[in-house]
Structure 1
Amino acid sequence: MHRSGTAMAWNVFKFCTALRGLGSVMILLVLGIVGVTYYALVLCNYGPVLLAATGALDALVALVVLVLFHFLLAMLLWSYFSVVFTDPGGVPPNWRPDVDEESGETAPLSTAEFSDLMNSQQSMALSDTGSPRIRYCRKCNQLKPPRCHHCSVCGRCVLKMDHHCVWVVNCVGALNYKFFLLFLLYTFLETALVTLSLLPHFIAFFSDVEIPGTPGALATTFLTFVLNLAFTLSVLGFMIMHVSLVSGNTTTIEAYEKKTTPFWKYDLGRKRNFAQVFGNNKWYWFIPSYSEEDLRIIPALQGLDYPVRSDFDGQGL
């Protein structure tokens, strides 16, 4: 029995190590899909139509498609690499809570109290959503801020961790969650645009109409349509799920924990929940960045401090 448990732990470790190694491969795969799509839509189809200018209407449609495509592609890549290269948020060295929630005190913990707490927490497994008590990570040997979870792939605690995404080769957490959501949004809009733009060509592929272009270009167009249709449908479902999570001010991990929690203390209402992720400045809602004012007045954007509902009394959690 002991050998079996050891083997299982070893297999999980190897799985996490393999996920770390997927980094450059997944980025190249994303860029490859973007490249194939660009070749099929711009170089094989709508680019030649615009240059040939066989008709005013055809040229106008081609221009609109190409302008929208390049705009959405730029926003998609900006959001994507913002998720890839932005640290999701780690626990600062020697972090300690400003409030001793365990005893209900509002003063910062003293050095002696902090040391006693560290020693006592090493033998206890505490839940963030099941108790207001301070939590401790045995793997990192440090205290865990509210809504923080340990990622086995990254090998560290991540602030407001949502999940580890192999597509962005990074954890999705407090500091890059908005960027991830924008990546989903622009991926959906981009793939939907490509799907609709290539639909007439896809239909013509199965008809008796003679289609101009080389066999390679026709095959690439067919493949691009199928790929983008698949991504449109899958990303749509993922977007709907995350819209629900944002509206309730929860994460993917917390959504499973909430099933046994009748009262969610971080649900501040849809408007305030939205601001906890996107900020208050409307000019920044659709770009992977925050205004300095939002970063200053909304502590949740920093990932360490989260306001709770006014009717929360600490009971039942």
Structure 2
Amino acid sequence: MAWNVFKLCTGLKVVGSVMILVVLSVVGVSYYAVVVANYVPQVWKGALATATALLVLILFHFLLAMLLWSYFAVVFTDPGGVPQGWKPSSCEDDLEAQSLPLDPTPATTTVPVSLSTMAQSANVRYCRKCCQFKPPRCHHCSVCGRCILKMDHHCIWVVTCVGARNYKFFLLFLLYTFLETTLVTVALLPQFVAIFSNIDEDSSFPSVLATTILAFVLNLAFALSVLGFLIMHMSLVADNTTTIEAYEKKASTRWRFDLGWKRNFEQVFGMRRIYWFLPLYTEDDLRRMTVLQGLDYPLRSDNDSQEF
């Protein structure tokens, strides 16, 4: 019997659980270094030191709250799975025009003859592992063991897939992580420089010095790495493309889901600007925007006037 190497992917679920602890540990170290060890003591010094400390503390707690809100919104929001018994609206529809290259011929051992024949004759995408039809932009995740709507990637940092219903929350998590880690890096830079400039005169406790150095290095590394991911994903949003689709689509033709950067942006972040930077959607957006359900997507027309 052939050994299925993809079964090893289930081990990533355990790794992902550890990653949550890593994220919370970095947050804890940063909180101690910025709040407890360095800036709360400066509140009582008066004058400019007090004003600076208060500003740093307010910004730090605000960004931390938004970071954690966005993070747990990704973790606890289902990215979207194919509804039980879902089928294309019409077997005569050209669904190939709304999807990536079709899967190979469905397995005849697990698929009823009628469904297999229907999939082949109508060019419908079919998942041989889940034994069900796949909506446009849907892909099977070997880690989650199911098809994910508008799957972008499986992220071990959030222990789940990033898909149609939590992609916005993931992007906000990247944004607030970058802002928070940048703030911590800038806030601890003077202390970091002072530690190595006046190492013989520094009277701080060794634990404070070690935590300050560790927090500075960790946050600098995270800020630089997250910035790259944030830029990449924002470019994908501008083209209405997922990470998977970016590698599979043809670069010679314009992506048929590309409705223009503004509409592409609204398909992810919603129609109400006041909610763009919050990890939630309005009831109106959830009702009107079918793309948030992950089953139906508007296509670009020849004159680029496609409406939601």
The SS at the match of 2:137 is coil
Would the aligned equivalents of 2:33 and 2:212 in 1 still touch at CA under 8 Å?
yes
Q: Is the 8 A contact 2:141 2:148 kept in 1?
A: yes
Q: In structure 2, give the amino acid aligned to 1:143.
A: F
Contact 2:155 2:162 in 1 (8 A): yes
Gaps of 5+ in 2: 96-111, 304-308
TM-fit CA distance, 1:32: 0.8
Once the two structures are superposed, residues 165-188 of structure 1 have per-residue CA deviations (whole angstroms, 9 ceiling, x without a partner) of: 000011000000000000000000
* 1:35 corresponds to: 28
Cα distance in 2 for residues equivalent to 1:103 and 1:190: 46
Counterpart-to-counterpart distance in 2, 1:117 and 1:181: 41
What is the DSSP-based 3-state SS (H/G/I as helix, E as strand, rest coil) of the residue aligned with 1:153? coil
RMSD, aligned α-carbons: 2.0
How far apart are the structure 2 equivalents of 1:199 and 1:42? 14
Q: 1:84-95 residue pairs with structure 2 within 5 A?
A: 84-95=75-86
Task: State whether structure 2 residue 234 is matched by structure 1 residue 243.
Answer: yes
TM-score (norm: length of structure 1): 0.85
CA–CA distance in 2 between the matches of 1:101 and 1:311?
A: 22
Q: Which residue number corresponds to residue 37 of structure 2?
A: 44
CA distance in structure 1 between the partners assigned to 2:236 and 2:114 by the alignment: 33
**Equivalent in the alignment of 1:304:** 295
The answer for the alignment partner of 1:287 in structure 2 is 278
Structure 1 runs not aligned, ≥5 long: 105-114, 127-131, 313-317
User: Deviation at 1:102?
Assistant: 4.4
Question: In the alignment, which residue of structure 2 is the partner of 1:160?
Answer: 150
Please give the TM-score of this superposition, normalised by the length of structure 2.
0.88
Alpha-carbon offset, residue 22 of structure 1: 2.0
Which residues in structure 2 correspond to 1:186-205 (within 5 Å)?
186-205=176-195
Q: 1:173 aligns with which of 146, 157, 163?
A: 163
Report the Cα distance in structure 1 between the residues aligned to 2:115 and 2:86, rounded to whole angstroms: 11
Percent of matched pairs sharing the same residue = 64
Relative to structure 1, is the Cα distance of residues 275 and 103 closer, same or farther in structure 2, using a 3 angstrom cutoff?
Answer: closer
| Alpha-carbon distance in 1 for matches of 2:226, 2:80 | 25
8 Å Cα contact 1:101/1:134 also seen in 2: no
CA distance in 1, matches of 2:115, 2:63: 49
Q: Does 2:12 align with 1:19?
A: yes
Change in Cα spacing, 1:117 to 1:181, as seen in structure 2 (3 Å) is farther
Q: Is the 8 A contact 1:177 1:277 kept in 2?
A: yes
**Secondary structure of 2:202's partner?**
coil
Amino acid at match of 1:169: V
Q: Does structure 1 retain, via aligned residues, the 8 Å contact 2:10–2:144?
A: no
